[in-house]
Amino acid sequence: MVRNRIGQRGKKAEAAVKKLFQELKERHRGFDYIKLKDARSSRGKGASKQVADFQVFTDPHHIAVEVKEINHISRLPQKNLTQIPKMQRRAMAGGETCILVYSLMTDSWTYAELAWVVARKSKPSYDLSDLDWFDTAGEAWGSFCAWNNIKY
């Protein structure tokens, strides 16, 4: 029997990132996060499309983190990343943004910077094959933090 995954798409990746952020929160006093509710989980009661799946706080940084799960080796369909305008607004307000991507096919992680995504917005999908890929969400997050000089 094949189960319908439509309502579960992205949940494996989000759960891995939530576990990572919870571990970081327990190990570092200067790290905190919030998992934002999406319209699906709130059943349409009060939650509109959020800027991202998570908000991370570490002095002096505020980072909007969107988590995507793809059923492809390295392509993220543009239609699956509708948060770009809200993420751009957050960046203009001084926040930082990170898009963490998990590939079901390769069981690996990468991250994309908002400027990288915006520069490729004219394509029907984002080709992530040129980005660095990692074995875990923690390694991808660590690389994003190192690249952006984020410490906690």
Q: What is the pLDDT of residue 6?
A: 52
Other beta carbons less than 10 A from residue 130's beta carbon: 8
Q: How far apart, in whole angstroms, are the C-alpha atoms of residue 36 and residue 103? A: 22
**pLDDT above 70: percentage of residues in the chain:** 88
Per residue in 91-119, pLDDT (tens digit) is: 999 999 999 999 999 999 999 999 999 99
Per residue in 40-82, pLDDT (tens digit) is: 555 555 556 899 999 999 999 999 999 999 999 999 999 999 9
